[in-house]
Homo-oligomer: A and B are copies of this chain.
């Protein structure tokens, strides 16, 4: 009967430890703020919220709208959060579809690989812009959580920057490959 490690509970309790909110807002908050390293769907959030309420880890009080509830973390919930945060990290094995395609890129061709790099660059750039904006916002607000928020944002920024540098290097490598094989002899 080993307790499963419900990582969803960490995200939910953690978000509610910052500020009480509805399930809907919870999902948006997770998407906006934790989006670069975490994600939760409604299909996870609502059942989790009900379960946590039954366990006394969150309280539900009626929201401004008739159909909405505002969920608030309880003292027990905070204790549980600390406990969950200390639990061993069960990382799912990595699965990076982009890398898989580039690794076998010889069967895909230089042009399509270049297109994948373009996509990657665009994604990294927009992510970087979003992270820098969030970074500035967190520094402005001066919350008690701020140093921890900034640490995670910082990794996102560094990773995005490294990705952009890598894209350039990868393009260069593909270009060299192209000029070496293409003008002389195909295949």
Point out the residue from B10, B11, B170 that lies within 8 Å of A151, measured CB to CB: B170
Given A163-B155, A174-B147 in contact, is the A107-B94 Cβ separation under 8 Å? no
A55-98 interface code vs B (CB 8 A; 1 in, 0 out) = 00000000000000000000000100110011001111111111
Contacts of A97 in B (CB 8 A): 7, 89-91
Contacts of A25 in B (CB 8 A): none
Q: Which A87-116 residues sit within 8 Å CB-CB of chain B?
A: 89-108, 112-113
Total copies of this chain within the assembly:
2
Q: Which A142-187 residues sit within 8 Å CB-CB of chain B?
A: 144-145, 147-152, 154-155, 158-159, 161-163, 165-166, 169-170, 173-174, 176-177
Kindly state whether residue A17 has any CB partner on chain B within 8 Å. yes
Kindly state whether residue A50 has any CB partner on chain B within 8 Å. no
Kindly state whether residue A14 has any CB partner on chain B within 8 Å. yes
Contact of A37 with B99 in the complex, beta carbons under 8 Å: yes
Nearest Cβ distance between residue A34 and chain B, in whole angstroms? 7
